[in-house]
Structure 1
Amino acid sequence: MKPLLLASLFILLYTVGSAQVINGTITDTKNELLPYSSVVVKGTTQGVSANSKGFYSIQLAPGNYTLLCQYIGYRSVEKKITLEKGKNIEINFQLELQQYSLQDVTVSNNGEDPAYAIIRKAIGKRTEHLKEIKKFTADVYLKGQLQLRDYPKRFFGQKVDFEDGDSSKRKMLVLSETIARYSVEEPAKEKVEVISTKVSGRSNSFGFSSPQIISFYNNTIQVGENLNPRGFISPIASTALSFYRYKFEGTFYENGVEISRIKVIPKRKYEPLFQGYINIVENEWRIHSLRLNLVREQQMQLLDTLVIEQLYVPAENVWVIKNQVIYPSGKIFGFDFFGSFVQVYDRFNLNPVFAKKYFDNTIIKVYDSANKKSMAYWDSIRPLPLLTEEALDYRKKDSLEQVRKDPKYMDSIDRKRNKISLGGIFLTGQSISKQKTRTFLSFEPLINTLNYNTVEGGVLHFSPTWSKRFDETSRKSLQLTPYIRYGFANQHFNAHITGSYNFGKKYFNSISVSGGRRVFQYNNAAPISSRINTYTTLLYENNHMKIYEANFFRINYSAGVGNGLTLNAGFQFQDRFGLQNLSDPVSWKNIEGRSFTPNYPADLTNAVMPRNQAALFTAGFNWRPGGKYIEIPGRKIAVGSNYPTFNFALTHAVKGFLGSDADFTKWRLSVADDLDLKLGGKLSYRGSIGGFLSAKQVFIPDYTHFQGNQTVLANDPLSGFQLAPYYRYSNTSKFYATANVEYHLNGLLSNKIPGFRRLNWFFVTGANLLYTQAGKNYYETFFGVENILKFIRVDFVQGFETNGPSPRGIRISVPLFEGGRE
């Protein structure tokens, strides 16, 4: 396929080279510019779009043509032209507002607006139009740009500086163009081949390369990923009449086809609904064009407004999309932004013949040198003329990129960025970069380096991270993190170092090595962070964290092999030492009837762990069947699939190896996925099974542990239990099973509660279950509210234990308090 694509590109460039240029401006009768209007060669899908200033440019071979100019809400205009070899011409278009005829309007006996009869017929034809094109190929041009019109001087205490030498408030944040071949075959095969792509000021980057035809023939419309997790209801969805009101605004004719204009009005606020206009082709009951918008009060997040424009044109016996433009705008934390994302489709082939295995697990393929095209190439091939500010942005940022490669400039920027600040030292952390060598050094803030526990007393730990990228385009990078820890009360000094190296041409590979002396929690997965344990110890006399020391060595290797499969293997050796509580631990508050618990899991043992050694070999895989990839020159990037993720691990402790006392074999298999229920919300689940195949000698750190929680701050809801004690259910059983299920309503029901719906908070509910062969079974249910300030979640949880207590409590998820697990 690649030679054919390159041949097509050669022919296209040859044609361009021998073509004549037609350009001009498109305005209305008041000389107001009509942005992104469409100019097509009548009888074909070949054409271009005007830019946001109404200027268009198209290249055609000498000959006779009829150009058709269209803009939503305006009467289309045709002009016949003759192109002579060697002569470029200017053709301007002036469009009149569309006049809508109401002569044949008949109001039904019940007073229903005629729009409803048209919409019912469009809904009846929805499925047919959704599936009528079984396969196609098309050339597509994508351009995205996002601009600022205002921004604050400081953000979270840091000066806002774009390092471009320009102090004006209006800035082009992102500007990107892509030309690609888009191929589709139903029911679910897609492939994008990127011929050329460009990002302003980033010569090694790849632009927006994934066409998204927003089909309003679908019941729900997903625009982006975060605007509304449920999606938005199409004005011609099967249930649309329950959500929208419609108003008939007349008909007009275009190329002999009668088209009805319908105003779309949401029935209720705080529902995921559009408002605007949709034009329906009479008798065929298909979409001709539309202009629909979303606002915050229709359950849209992050943005203030979003406008979608689409224009369809006839091709053979169907209609295909010609233009799609999305206009986002909003204001977040003082950053006032707006933009446009344009897609122009051309040269549709509705009967393509695809080579065998053409559709594979690569959904986007970027060809070599796609991002190395010259500006002359782009000027000759883009179907959408650049705006003046866009052309200026390219020149400015491409020049600035060259300046930034100068060693002196890099040094000056490094000096500016690397200035030490008190806020960085104490609160946010500090980083030091050296761009010439692509090396970075980062430090945690001092507020994170001091903790307290009942074994070490005050604990000071320091763990700077040094990293290096070997080049800008490959995966090769190296990271080193030394870690030193000192307990002021027990006067123990621990230090270890971890190094990781990432590499791999096609697929991601990594190897990590760690060794030294370290403090571990009995559950090495660290169910409670040092920071949270400090609060609970000092304020409530709850020393939940149970720790030991070990001399250790660990090596892990992970290799992607394609098809969503990653293999991993590792070895770890630990020489472990149990630790005692201090004789008189400190607390800030003496709570009557409560005292510190011993520094060992009292649910599992009544004594401190004796010294022991364990040599552990682990092998396993992570597999997501049907894994899809984006392929760029030299590597592939996994982007997920429609199937669950499976994870398997087998751990074997070899008795006698390096003096190992441990002797066991255990296994674990898990499956996890997120199910998009559209308007119904999202269902997330994670299940696991496992156990010990043999358990001749097992020490507590090697038990099967579960992520419990005994603080008000929640743990990961899909991998733990919110009310379970940290070690009560740890075991060496031959078999166990867990299930974690969450149902995120994502605005369902909560948008029906007056007053509450204005907050845009969402309900979430679910259950967590644990079964062990030893008979220690536990489950809990919960109901909560999430999306509070966009990132806070509060749950009420009710737990149940077989023949045991039934705990209940509140759990709060606040990402700010996560981290600090050592």
Structure 2
Amino acid sequence: MPLRYALLGLGWLISLASWAGGIRGTLYDQSGQPLPFATVYVAGTSQGATSNAQGDYELSLPPGTYPIVFQYVGYVAKTQEVTIEGDEWVELNLRLAAEVLTLPEVVVNARDEDPAYPIMRQAIAWRKYFRQEVASYSGKTYVKGKGELIDYPKLPIVTKKLRENGIDTGVVFLTESVAEVTFRQPDQYQENVIALKVTGSDELTPINRTTRINFYEPLVARAVSPLADNAFAHYTFALQGSFQDGDHTIHKIQVTPKRRKARAFRGTLYIVEGRWNLHSLDLTLPAPTMTHHLRQVFAPVQEGVWMPLNHQLTTQGYALVMDLFRVDFKFQYASVQSEYRLTLNPDRFRYQPSEAVVVSIPDDSTAVADTVADAPTTRKASAKELMAKARALQRLKEEAERETREERARPPQDLTIQLDSVATKRDSTFWETYRPVPLTLPEQKGYRVQDSIQAVREDPFFRDSVEAQRNRWRWASPLTGYQYRKHGSPWTVSFSGLASGLQFNTVEGWVLEPSLTLRRELSRQRQLTFSPQARYGFAAQRGYGQADLSYAFRPQRPASLALAGGRYVAQLNPAGAIAPWLNTLTTLLQERNWMRLYAHTFAEARYATEWVNGVYMEATARWEARETLMNQAAFRLIDSPRRAYTSNAPTNLEIGEATFTDHRALVGHLSVRYVPNQKYMIRNGRKRVLDTDQPTFQVEYRRGMSGWLGSAVDYDFLSASVAQTFPFRRAGLTRYLVRGGAFLSHEAVYFPDFYHFQGNQTLLRLRERIDNFHLLPYYAYSTRDRFVEAHVEHRFSRLLLARVPLIGLLDWREVALVNYLYTPTAGHYTEIGLGIDDLFQLLRIDFVAGFRGTAYQQFGVRLGLAFRISTGN
């Protein structure tokens, strides 16, 4: 542990120990109901606390006299002078009155605007100033979080799956942390966690993001901020009234999205008159499977600078376990920021707006026209004046769009989280002394129960007995699998079981394919994995085996080395044309054997790394002796008189029957992938890449090397692609992939070396990858020439189904898709489809037509899982 962190923690303990007194009590509203998560702080400072869910608060203070501010969103703040003598605790219970709102006396007609709009113009115009006002700051942050399951199916399979992920069916987790937080413009955060207390599953404890939520940014959680320059295109505002908070007049403004299904905030903003900064906010943000509710309270802490003191974030929604069973959950976070030390930005004054920019900023030309048309006019207003205003609004609109694009393309958030080596060892005295949010009675009971359970779990005798029971080899283990883990041991051993790899194909008949994995943690940064695998086909009466040895290191910039080899069976398409279990069903039930196999003896070396953030490279050298295989099995469950098993050699448009002679091949492969502005976080020394809507570029090169080690292949292959998933304005989500490639030379190209496309000839659509065709035969279009393929899917947020009564409540969404392929031999092939997504929050059905050139070729229905797309953090 660095010395400065040790000294910091020691200093805190000494200072806290000297503050043996303070104030405590309970906050109520006028009816006697407790006020949860209210803010309590010393006026003019950032020294404060927050009440708990029962309204209880506690603020440690040294002896002295203090003006204490009690503040709650929607209530009138109260300031009370309190004197602390010695180490006494002053009991102070207060009732806060709901805000008494006054409205300006105005007459609003059809062509006038709500009084909120002039206020919001000022707040939006000053946004950039407040965004840049502070160059850097440091302070302390206390965060308390709780997650719990609200409802879930009481089925053994669900309970088992939850427990496998460390989730108790009561409290998922309860966590507290204390950190020294540092921020520097534009987006650099550092958190040094000096105290951490976790019960339940710490793996489910999300990284604290509540204190980094900033509504002065144009985008917040991929939604337009109500203070963004183009906010008037996304929100309507209404002044609910104004009230006095000390010397400040506060305006309460209702925020409503213009479009009901848009990803946008809804709730209340409180704006300070004259300064036009945020006083507090109470907003909700809906998402497809959850809703986020956020409250923030600001206060002047240094030189009149208002900073957030209190954050509350509640997320409630559901998740699907095993993609089938719905589990409802609720996460609650309360955070308190204190002891701010600010450095003001010397250039902040250049961000002060002029009166010329204090105007509305529509988001599109239609809104510009509507704004001009609806603007209050007099008889003296001329068309020339209106056109001048329209041009000014258009310029501001373009500026807002530019800033939004720049925000989406901002560099990755530079976040460093360091965990002190003694952070998890803080005793109850530390927490009782520092904790600014008192524990509720259920939380105190939960801690006592969890501490007792933890003490039992850490008992060596108990732990050994539990591990002995868990690691016991049972009678069903050979079929269902087995895993061995021991506390403190670097080894993990897992066996897949014979049943997991059971399958049937016409080449081998019934197949068993068990695998074993041995993993050793060499350190927190390095890991060694050995994975042997066996395979036996009963009809062919042949066995195979292969093994993979991999070494992973440098988790902050992931890299791995691997060696593999053996004699095994593989599909002609190395990406896997069809899942083995699905081929088993279609073969036995429909007499359609789609899988095509060959045998190979091989040796391979791989190296993969991330060069710099967002740039990935993988290099592979592979030698193999390839051998054709013939059908050996005739077994079927249902014998169709109209069908028969087909040959293991597929039919291809370029070469007819795709047979090949046994041969050897030495192939080198290089792939480079680039994700611009990739965002990530580093937690516990490991890099975690965040979702992005930036495009992904990839270039691949393959070289078949003739003459080396008896290799008979001789070709050069090059391809390039770009893929992206992004929200398309307010119309929904779009994802696409465009890929082109060519064999630059093809003196000797065997069918396994062809470029194979991801086809589908079954009812089920299993892959979520964008580069899948819905109706394309598996190997008919495989090529050793040049090609272009393109795939586009769009998931509408609001088209027809959302407008139909009752059906609109089900959140079904239309999906449109186009898949395109061109090769010189096959010509143009196109698929056009429409689908319905999120059927019963689980399924998706597509109706697709295929065309060869302009001629209709076939129609098909495809059933799959719902369209799961991530578009941001």
Same fold (TM over 0.5): yes
Give the length in aligned residue pairs. Answer: 786
1:742 is aligned, of 785, 790, 793, to 793
1:670 is aligned, of 721, 724, 732, to 721
Distance between the aligned counterparts of 2:739 and 2:858, measured in 1?
24
Report how far residue 506 of structure 1 moved.
3.9
Aligned to 1:450: 502
The answer on whether the counterparts of 2:117 and 2:237 sit within 8 Å (CA) in structure 1 is: no
Residues 372-391 of structure 1: pairs in structure 2 closer than 5 A: 372=424, 374-375=426-427, 376-391=429-444
The answer on whether the counterparts of 1:218 and 1:237 sit within 8 Å (CA) in structure 2 is: no
Aligned to 2:375: none
Report how far residue 521 of structure 1 moved.
1.4
The answer on whether the counterparts of 2:659 and 2:751 sit within 8 Å (CA) in structure 1 is: no
Distance between the aligned counterparts of 1:165 and 1:546, measured in 2?
40
Q: Does 1:193 align with 2:191?
A: yes
Aligned to 2:376: none
The answer on whether the counterparts of 2:64 and 2:83 sit within 8 Å (CA) in structure 1 is: yes
Amino acid at match of 1:708: G
Report how far residue 7 of structure 1 moved.
7.6
Distance between the aligned counterparts of 2:206 and 2:658, measured in 1?
60
The answer on whether the counterparts of 1:685 and 1:742 sit within 8 Å (CA) in structure 2 is: yes
Distance between the aligned counterparts of 1:313 and 1:758, measured in 2?
41
Report how far residue 282 of structure 1 moved.
4.1
Farther off after superposition, 262-271 or 626-635:
262-271
Amino acid at match of 2:586: T
Instruction: Say if 1:802 and 1:216 are closer, same or farther in 2 by CA, change over 3 A.
Output: same
Aligned with 1:533: secondary structure?
A: helix
Aligned with 2:131: secondary structure?
A: coil
Aligned with 1:200: secondary structure?
A: strand
Report how far residue 668 of structure 1 moved.
2.9
The answer on whether the counterparts of 2:502 and 2:513 sit within 8 Å (CA) in structure 1 is: no
Identity value in percent: 27
2:589 is aligned, of 524, 528, 539, to 539
Distance between the aligned counterparts of 1:335 and 1:573, measured in 2?
48
Aligned to 2:682: 631
2:829 is aligned, of 760, 778, 781, to 778
1:364 is aligned, of 413, 416, 423, to 416
Distance between the aligned counterparts of 1:108 and 1:42, measured in 2?
39
Instruction: Say if 1:776 and 1:172 are closer, same or farther in 2 by CA, change over 3 A.
Output: closer
The answer on whether the counterparts of 2:693 and 2:725 sit within 8 Å (CA) in structure 1 is: no
Report how far residue 119 of structure 1 moved.
4.9
Report how far residue 804 of structure 1 moved.
6.3
Amino acid at match of 1:171: V
Report how far residue 718 of structure 1 moved.
1.2
Q: Does 1:252 align with 2:239?
A: no
Aligned to 2:630: 580
CA deviations 1:578-623 (Å, max 9, x no partner) are 122348564614253x443321121134363211111222233333
Aligned to 1:70: 71
Instruction: Say if 1:553 and 1:101 are closer, same or farther in 2 by CA, change over 3 A.
Output: closer
Aligned to 2:332: 340
Aligned to 2:733: 682
Aligned to 2:280: 289
Aligned to 1:550: 600
Aligned to 1:87: 87
Report how far residue 432 of structure 1 moved.
2.7
Amino acid at match of 1:133: R
Q: Does 1:651 align with 2:702?
A: yes
Instruction: Say if 1:746 and 1:445 are closer, same or farther in 2 by CA, change over 3 A.
Output: farther
Aligned to 1:40: 41
Instruction: Say if 1:371 and 1:641 are closer, same or farther in 2 by CA, change over 3 A.
Output: farther
Distance between the aligned counterparts of 2:237 and 2:513, measured in 1?
62
Instruction: Say if 1:371 and 1:96 are closer, same or farther in 2 by CA, change over 3 A.
Output: closer
Report how far residue 144 of structure 1 moved.
1.3
The answer on whether the counterparts of 1:192 and 1:363 sit within 8 Å (CA) in structure 2 is: yes
Aligned to 1:181: 181
The answer on whether the counterparts of 2:761 and 2:774 sit within 8 Å (CA) in structure 1 is: yes
Aligned to 1:521: 571
TM-score (norm 2): 0.79
1:612 is aligned, of 663, 670, 688, to 663
Aligned to 1:210: 209
Aligned with 1:581: secondary structure?
A: coil
Amino acid at match of 1:455: V
1:310 is aligned, of 263, 272, 296, to 296
- Larger proportion of helix: 2
Aligned with 2:503: secondary structure?
A: strand
Amino acid at match of 1:196: I
Distance between the aligned counterparts of 2:805 and 2:167, measured in 1?
47
The answer on whether the counterparts of 2:838 and 2:866 sit within 8 Å (CA) in structure 1 is: no
Aligned to 1:225: none
Aligned with 1:758: secondary structure?
A: helix
TM-score (norm 1): 0.83
Report how far residue 389 of structure 1 moved.
3.9
Aligned alpha-carbon RMSD (Å): 4.1
Distance between the aligned counterparts of 1:545 and 1:234, measured in 2?
54
Aligned with 1:108: secondary structure?
A: coil
Instruction: Say if 1:202 and 1:154 are closer, same or farther in 2 by CA, change over 3 A.
Output: closer
Q: Which segments of 5 or more consecutive residues in structure 2 lack a partner in the other structure?
A: 320-324, 347-410, 868-873
Aligned with 1:328: secondary structure?
A: strand
Aligned with 1:556: secondary structure?
A: strand
Instruction: Say if 1:238 and 1:665 are closer, same or farther in 2 by CA, change over 3 A.
Output: closer
Report how far residue 760 of structure 1 moved.
1.2
Distance between the aligned counterparts of 2:763 and 2:206, measured in 1?
44
Residues 735-814 of structure 1: pairs in structure 2 closer than 5 A: 735-747=786-798, 750-772=801-823, 776-802=827-853, 806-814=857-865
Aligned with 2:68: secondary structure?
A: strand
Q: Which segments of 5 or more consecutive residues in structure 1 lack a partner in the other structure?
A: 223-229, 817-822
Amino acid at match of 2:37: Y
Q: Does 1:600 align with 2:649?
A: yes
Aligned with 1:539: secondary structure?
A: helix
Distance between the aligned counterparts of 1:5 and 1:412, measured in 2?
38
Report how far residue 701 of structure 1 moved.
0.3
Report how far residue 469 of structure 1 moved.
4.5
Aligned with 1:351: secondary structure?
A: strand
The answer on whether the counterparts of 1:194 and 1:209 sit within 8 Å (CA) in structure 2 is: no
Q: Does 1:412 align with 2:465?
A: yes
Distance between the aligned counterparts of 1:541 and 1:128, measured in 2?
70
Aligned with 2:657: secondary structure?
A: coil
Distance between the aligned counterparts of 2:166 and 2:722, measured in 1?
51
Report how far residue 283 of structure 1 moved.
5.1
